Amino acid sequence: MDDRLASIVAHARERFPMAVSQAVEEFGEVSVDVSRDRIADLGKILRDDTPFELLSDLSCVDYLDVNASDRRFLVAYHLSSPKHPYRLRLRVWIPDGDERCPTVTSVWPTANFHEREIFDFFGITFEGHPNLRRIFMPDEWEGYPQRKDYPLGGTNVQYHGAFIPPPDVRKQPTTTTGYPGRLS
């Protein structure tokens, strides 16, 4: 890890000793686990006191049946700087049954649509979000299709009365060459 990035993480751990974990470097990227109640506060410090003025991405992963129930969803904040070569990932674990996290839209306005997408697909409620509603799925859609416990098929879909067969009985698409999945 770069010395400058190590000092940034050390500064964050000084400010929030119980809320920020030790940095982990994997595959050339640095990650820090942050308690969900401090994510916005830490974001303000990283935006104002360090070069991380850009939230370049916000993603979510469902770890159903992999972790304990207090670590089901992982919300990852990918920070970068247009002026410096630093990248940092802040990871917030969300427990099963308490799918909420404070919004960071006041810190990074780019979080607006990212948080709406995570809400739409995973059901994580971002408290304090200015306009938290579905962004891709219809308003009347029931459930969260990116959760691992969401049915893959073989059930009536809540949209336009469509039916999606289970994955094991779906036909492979054929092309003009007659070979499944091959483009002509």
Is the whole model's pTM more than 0.75, yes or no? yes
Per-residue pLDDT at 81: 85
How far the first Cα of the chain sits from its last, in Å, is 47
∠ Cα 43 99 57 (to 5°): 40
Per-residue pLDDT at 114: 97
Q: Which domains does the chain have, with CATH numbers?
A: 3-137 (3.30.460.80), 151-184 (no CATH)
Q: What is the pLDDT along the chain (184 residues), one digit of tens a residue?
A: 678 788 888 888 888 888 888 888 887 788 999 999 999 999 999 999 888 889 999 999 999 877 666 789 999 999 998 888 888 999 999 999 999 999 999 999 999 999 999 999 999 999 999 999 999 988 888 889 999 888 776 555 555 656 677 777 776 665 555 555 544 4
Per-residue pLDDT at 73: 95
| Amino acid type, 43 | G
Q: CB–CB of 120/135 below 8 Å?
A: yes
Neighbour-count burial of 68, counting CB atoms closer than 10 A to its CB (0-12 exposed, 13-18 middle, 19+ buried): exposed
Of 112, 146, 151, 153, whose CA–CA distance to 129 is shortest? 112
